[in-house]
Each structure stands twice: as structure tokens, then as C-alpha cells.
Structure 1
Amino acid sequence: MAWRGRAGARRAANGSVMEGAARAGLTARGVIYLLVGVLALRIAFGDGGRQADRGGALAELAGRPFGALLLWALGAGLAGMALWRLSEAVFGAVGKDGRSARKRLMALARSVFYAFVAWSVPAFAVGRDTGGGSSDRQSRDVTARALEAPAGQWLVGAAGLVIVGVGCWIGVQAARRTYHKKLKLGELSPRARRLLDVSGVGGGVARGLVFAAAGVFAVRAAIAYEPDRAKGMDDTLRSLAGTPLGPWLLVCVAAGLVLFGVFSFALARWRRV
């Protein structure tokens, strides 16, 4: 019986560690989206001096008092996100289908992505501009290498269509408020629930639109066989100002990204882990 008690204590401790890692990761993600949204708002109103992407967000933090400390804290939070997603891939996530192969594969993909992002933050802090560099340059470079591969146009075009599909899926899921399934709804006051729904729907739709637009640019780059037509987050956001709606579309999307940052903070507080 003693070994059962010790095993239960270890499971509880591991659960507490993973919960802390998840909430730290969601908070770190919120910081990045909040900063990207603010930078995009600046671009919409004529201040385009800093890029509205992860690199711009890191540079914004680095320029603040105790900037290096903030960057290391952000990297630690993102590492927590990677560990949490890895635990979901290995042990399953919350929800009735949390142990399905599809959910596990999605969790593994997210873990790899956040591990790369987490590694890029301290690299940026110590002066190695790897993951914190321009998303536009990275997108063009990756597209150029992919186009040179056998059947490169088809690969880039297919990847672009997948990104478009992911963007549409993100937007639709947000509009349907499917995130309610993962929340501690009983702990939410009416005001907190309204805030969460406004930020969840508005932020998710804006995020999905950015993904879908980036996918469209990738498809165009494949069709034209021109890697320069591929766009990262910064160029994608700036392109919204060139639509018939002018900068106001960019304002709406940028505000939505700010809302998604707020939504991530809310998830860090009320998500079931």
C-alpha cells in the first residue's frame, strides 16, 4: 500500500508540474501575440519602424528595462508550453478524445514548434538572431529551398493550401466557441465569460485570417515560381493595408491579435489541463 501512495504522490506532483508549465506557456504565448498586435496597430497608424512578428516582439521586449530578464522568462514559459504539449502527445490530453492518435499527433507537432520558438528566444537574447529574425526573410528562404526540390512547386502549393485550411479551421473553431470544452466554466463569472468569449472569438478569427492569408501567398509563390511572393507574418499583415478597405482591415486584425493575447492570458487562468 505504501508504494501505491508514493506512486500517487508522484503522479500528483507531475500533474502539478505540467499544469504550471501549461499555464506559463499560455501566458508567454499571450505576451507574444499581444506585442505583435500592438506592433501591427502601430503600422496601421503610420509607425512601421518595427516588424509585426515574433522577432519584432522580442526586440520590443529587449528594449525595455530588464529586457534580457524578460526574454529569458519568456523563453522559459515557451519551454513549458513545449513540455506540456509533449506530455499530451505521450499521455493524452483532456477531453473524451484526448487520447486519440489525431490529438496526439497534433500535440507532438505543437511541442516541436514551441520547442523551436523557446530555443529561439534565448538565442535572440544572447545576440544570435536565429528564430527571432524576420519572418518574411525566413518564409522566402524556406520557399526558395522548397521550390528547388523535385516537384517543389507542388510541395509549396500543397503546403500553402494546408496553411489556408488551418487558418479557416482556426477561425471556424473560434467562431463556434469550441474552446468552451476545455474551460473551467463553473469558475467563470458572467463578466469573465463575456471577456473570454469576446477575446476568444475575435482573437481566433483574426489569427485564422492571418494564417489563411499567409497560405494564399504561399500558393501564389508556387504558381508563379517566385519565392519572393511568399510572406511571413509581418508582410502578411502589411498587405492587409493594401486592400480596398485600406488600413482599417489591418486595424481590425491587429486588434484581434491583441484580443488573442488576452484570450491566452484567460486560458492560462481557466483552462483545464
Structure 2
Amino acid sequence: MAANVAGNDAKQAGRQAAHEGKRQGHKVASSKWFHRFSRAGLVARGVIYLLVGWLALQIAFGDNGEQADKTGAMQTIAEKPGGTVMLWLVVIGFFGLAAWRFSEAAFGQPVADGDKATKRLASFGRGIFYTAGFIGMLSFVLGQGGKSSNEQSQSWSAKAMGEPGGRWLVLLVGLGFVAWGVGNIVGAVRRKFLKKLKTNEMSPTVEKVVKVLGIVGRASRGLVFGSVGAFLVNAAVQFDPKKAKGLDGTLREFAQTPAGPWLLVAVAIGVLIFGAYSFCEARWRKVEAAGSAH
């Protein structure tokens, strides 16, 4: 009897601790400093995509200098005056992006039906994506990284395929990227992203501009990452990790189509536009935790 009572008390204490932890977590996610932290992350994302788009344009016009991916973007920043400080700001920003997405996974998105399991799962997946970006950038700044996205993709695929069932994992990850890419394109065309923005704070002209940037930019990002996923699927199907490509390799493949470098130019401009749209999100995105006062 005493053991049962003690067990029930322990469970009750555990539930209370969990409830208090969630309450405190929601309080943090609802704070103004956390909102600013999240918006700083969106600024950092915009900087990276602007640089990736610029590097992709250079590749299209025959300059094969830096890789058109996060590593190339970080290298470009590092070469500028004050580059070290800028690098750390970008790294911190991506940590903010990851923290924001995980807060959405824990408490829901600040949109209609934002508490649904599917939306929370989507936020969790994006949290993982941005965490990977943060870790890669941190490794670069600390001098322990610097691999291109192609090397990273092929290395990960090779390791995964070397394990039992790893081929299927690569296939699932590839399909996940394809689905994410298609979802971005469909969402852009249907203008779903506007529900996540504070359009009531925009003038009619600004709203039109943001709408165009969102449609073109988000569709372009969807096309690029959907293509990254297609290469992973192909690598899994052919059981050849060398078939996998990262962001840089995928962008370069656009230049190998019958349209020549002009398709890469178009995609690169789309990536640049997404970078510009990210700054709009930094200003008007709803980043409050679900249930917070807006």
C-alpha cells in the first residue's frame, strides 16, 4: 500500500514538474526577446540565400569560384572586412531559427489549426533542418568544417547505405525533401504563406510586393530542394551514394539542361528573391507561440 502511494505521489510530482516546465517554456517562447531572436534568424537566413543566389549567378556566367551553398556563402562572408563578427551573427541567427521552430513544435504555430499534430511535426522537421545548418556553420567558424554540400550529402549517403536498411533511410529522406519542395511550390502558388504574415500591418502596395516576392521566392526554393531530394532518391534507387548531390551540385545541374546556363540564371534569381522575402518575414512573420497575446 505504501509503495503504491509513493508511486502515485511520484507520478503526480512528475506531472506537475512537466506542467511547470511547459509553462516556463511557453513563457520564454512568448517573450519579446525570443521573438527578436527568431526574427534575427530570419535575417540570417536571408543573408545566406542572397549569397547563395549570387554565387549561383556567378557559376552561370562561368565563374566556378565558391560553392553555391552555405559553405560558399560562409566563405564569402569570411573574406570580407569584419567577416568573423558577421559569421558569428549568422551562426547565432540560425540557432534562433532552430529554437523558434522547436518552440512551434512544442506549443503550436500562431495560425489557424496551428496546434495540429501535422503542423507541429512540420515545425519539428524544420527545427532539425536548421539545427543541422547551425552545426555546420558553427563547425566552419571554429575551423572544424568547410565541406561542400555535395561532399556532405555523398558522405552521409555512403554512411547510411553502409548500415542495414540505410538505403531505405536515404530514400525516405529524399522523398521527404521532394515532398517539402512540392509543398513549398503549391503553398507559394496558393499563397498560403500570407496566413503566416501580419498583412494587417502592411500598406496595400507593400503587401503586393511581399506577395510577389513570396510566390517567386518560395516556389524557387521548393524547386531547388525538391531537386536535391530527387538526387537522393536516385542515389538510393541506384544504390550509389555518388549520385547524391547537395545544394551546389543541384544548382549546377540546372546549367546542364537543354536550356543551358539560363535556367540556372532563372533559378539563381529565384533564390535571390527568396533571400529578399526572408527579410520581409523578419519584419512581418508571426513568431509568437500559439496561445500568446498577439
TM-score (normalised: structure 2): 0.84
Gaps of 5+ in 1: 1-6
Partner of 1:75: 91
> Does 243-252 or 162-171 show the bigger shift?
162-171
The alpha carbon displacement at 1:85 in A equals 1.5
Deviations 1:51-86 (A, max 9, x none): 000000000100010000000111111111122122
Shift of 1:258: 0.4
Of the three residues 122, 130, 133, the one matched with 2:147 is 133
Match of 1:229 among 243, 268, 271: 243
Note the aligned Cα RMSD (angstroms).
Answer: 1.9
Asked if the contact 2:210/2:280 (under 8 Å) is kept, the reply is yes
8 Å Cα contact 1:175-1:204 kept in structure 2: no
The CA deviation at 1:224 is 1.9
Residues 19-30 of structure 1 mapped to structure 2, 5 A cutoff: 19-30=35-46
Q: How many residues align?
A: 263
CA shift for structure 1 position 16: 0.6
Partner residue in 1 for 2:136: 120
Residue 181 of structure 2 corresponds to 167
Alignment of 1:118-267 (within 5 A): 118-129=134-145, 132-267=146-281
Judge conservation of contact 1:241–1:247 (CA < 8 Å) in 2.
yes
Give the aligned residue type for 2:137. Answer: V
Q: Which moved more, 1:61-70 or 1:112-121?
A: 112-121
1:173: how far off?
A: 0.6
For 2:48, which of 5, 29, 32 is the aligned residue?
Answer: 32
So what's the TM-score if we normalise by structure 1? 0.90
Output the amino acid matched with 1:84. W
Query: 1:230 is aligned with what amino acid?
Result: A
Between the aligned partners of 2:175 and 2:138, the Cα distance in structure 1 is 32
Alignment partner of 2:108 out of 92, 96, 110: 92
Instruction: Tell me, in whole angstroms, the C-alpha distance in 1 between the residues paired with 2:79 and 2:177.
Output: 32
Do the aligned partners of residues 245 and 221 (structure 1) sit closer, same or farther apart at CA in structure 2, a change above 3 Å counting? same
Secondary structure of 2:31 counterpart:
helix
Any runs of at least 4 consecutive aligned residues in structure 1 with deviations exceeding 3 A, and if so which? 10-14, 151-155
Q: 1:4 corresponds to which residue?
A: none
Structure whose alpha-carbon radius of gyration is higher:
2
Identical-pair percentage: 47
